[in-house]
Structure 1
């Protein structure tokens, strides 16, 4: 009777372990790759093929292990188990089968890796409807949109924010200005390296059912202190709304005059708005200049420190120089090379004045 009870407990425990193990494939199917990128269906297919092959192998192996534990367990302290010296035909069979399975998965994986990352007129997508230049830098992303027939990207979104039209073929040209990063939107497509001096590409083509969705991504290549904060926010727009937005941004681009690095050009502080400045500060500066010291000097006390940082400089002049030409004066304990040096091209005089006014009001 005791032996039967032991058998029952062993079988119940084994069944429980097997059921728990089988729950993982269910979770994988529920939270596997989303079908968002132009070629993410190929990634999804590979994922499912791998899972379909792996599940029966897992069940077979775990079943044999449980069977062996129960069938060949030691029953008496002095019992000598049956000695087995192998089965060459069986060993050859499972070695060949394993080799074939791995070979098939290898070929399928290589095909997927070579699909969807090269811009080519022979691709099913053909010529892209939109081209977006994606630039990684420590520790943010810039997104620049080619407009019309221009061979230079013009319209840009706030750092870390990308807008994508649904039902359109979008080509991303991905690069970096400093170290190697990796662009990753896990719900839309695979990872693509952002390499200084080199451009990689990725296709995105989303469906109408994804309009209004926002997908969060990140840098997937460790790149320094604030790597964890190098996030991507991809907003999917209705194609007509996207065209309207892009046209409006293009029209504003015609009126945009970069503030540049000339410190003698007056800034419009009389119309400076600290609320606009806070929004701009959170887009451009907060990652390195938070409330406490971090990669860069803290926002707290920044205005007072700026007033005494350089002889002959007012706080406004020093902050302006620090933003548009960060290496003109290097603060002890901080590296100026970690700060982008092109904010003079990205901001107009009003935005820079707004940011400086926001900093002033924090003290």
Structure 2
């Protein structure tokens, strides 16, 4: 399957850059999730790759071949869209078969290809139905089957689960990785759902403001976000962000919350005395009986199916969310103590918003976007 390489890609609409110098590589056979808020330029980037939109600058290479003069139908790309985009006058079978018939495949080969992918996606019983007779879930699977039918080398999926119900979305998050692995294609999967991005992607590219803000594995993006913005985008409940000025004593670098010492990672000495933001994931905090914990008052507790989220307030009035697995014992009201492990604490520069990464040599530096 082909590698996709994007080099310094720029696309403008009415003089405004929607994509501004995008460079990105998707490895042969890799599934990369393209994640970002609405309006970040995700769909525009896919349309540039597919050849439906021409960029002003930059290059798109598929399998090492520059696509500048290659028409969309000759790029070997399959696409599925969030609005399904099915041909209303065709049956589900004919919709799925359309890329195969466009390639002038023999009739038996077309039928075999359609039935194979329809069976994989569990829609073989509705192949004779028109799109208007299909449920949203069946329409979504039909659109995905059409994209997969011709076994394209490069597959572009534009938020295909956005318009389906929560149950089917959950099921497809489990099924899609297997289907894509069986297909063997190089895949870009666009989504606005961070859980989907983490579940489906070998790597995640975060698109923000027309640029790639960070590229990494799901764990890297979550554990080592390049900026406060990215830290906020990943996690539910959202990360706690608290203004601090790191200090240092004989035991190492630390921050103060309610006059209590919160230890920070070794190698952050250069952050001492700087205006910083301490990032604490709610699930990285725990209630503690130790007097060395951060004193708080419990304001409210909200139970969810798999977790319980507690809102607490520090002595200085700063609100903090604490998340724990459902059923875990913890105080429900009044005064309490919370603790945090240094390995779970993130530190950001308050001015630049960039994460401060510990240096091996004992210093520290603001982490640039990947």
TM-score (norm 1): 0.20
Bigger RCO (CA 8 Å, 6+ sep): 2
Whichever of the two has the greater Rg, that structure is 1
More strand per residue: 1 or 2?
Answer: 2
- Please give the TM-score of this superposition, normalised by the length of structure 2: 0.20
